[in-house]
């Protein structure tokens, strides 16, 4: 009887504490965005032509091919995607986002200035990454 109580107690403790531990280990949005950008850079820098085609196909309604070409020539793949996402979410021209990036602003700072939700930006960048493989 005592072992059953012990087992039940242990199960209850894990049931209530496990969600707290996993929630505490969750990354902040800025850290998660940096991680996703780094992964995109690592995977897509190997073949920029393929990355260019995938990016143009993914964002064909939101950005012109010429805009995407210019971004790919100037920025790493992860930054290119994040600039496009920030432009789309803020409804500001890409050149405004590029100017902010070149001035040294961080992604969270830029999100604040543009009045976009950083969580939404992270989701969009993550969706792109998952969508292109």
The pLDDT of residue 3 = 74
pLDDT tens, residue order, the chain (133 aa)? 667 666 556 655 566 665 554 555 678 999 999 999 999 999 998 889 999 999 999 998 899 999 999 999 999 999 999 999 999 999 999 999 999 999 999 999 999 999 999 999 999 999 998 887 5
Which two three-digit tokens encode residue 6?
A: 């012990």
In a domain, 110, yes or no: yes
The pLDDT of residue 20 = 52
In a domain, 2, yes or no: no
Domain that holds residue 61: 27-132
80 close to 68: Cβ distance less than 8 angstroms: yes
Name the domain count of the chain.
1
The pLDDT of residue 16 = 65
In a domain, 15, yes or no: no
The pLDDT of residue 26 = 79
In a domain, 48, yes or no: yes
In a domain, 6, yes or no: no
DSSP string, 40-94: HHHHHTT-HHHHHHHHHHHTTTTS-HHHHHHHHHHS-HHHHHHHHHHHHHHT--H
The pLDDT of residue 64 = 93
């Amino acid at each position: 009887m005592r072992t059953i109580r012990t087992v039940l107690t242990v199960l209850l403790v894990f049931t209530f504490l496990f969600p707290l531990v996993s929630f505490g280990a969750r990354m902040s949005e800025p850290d998660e965005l940096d991680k996703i950008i780094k992964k995109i850079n690592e995977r897509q820098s190997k073949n920029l032509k393929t990355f260019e085609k995938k990016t143009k196909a993914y964002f064909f309604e939101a950005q012109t091919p010429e805009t995407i070409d210019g971004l790919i020539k100037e920025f790493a793949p992860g930054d290119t995607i994040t600039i496009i996402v920030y432009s789309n979410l803020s409804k500001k021209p890409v050149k405004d986002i590029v100017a902010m990036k070149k001035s040294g602003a961080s992604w969270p700072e830029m999100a604040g200035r543009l009045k976009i939700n950083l969580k939404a930006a992270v989701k969009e960048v993550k969706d792109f990454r998952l969508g292109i493989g």
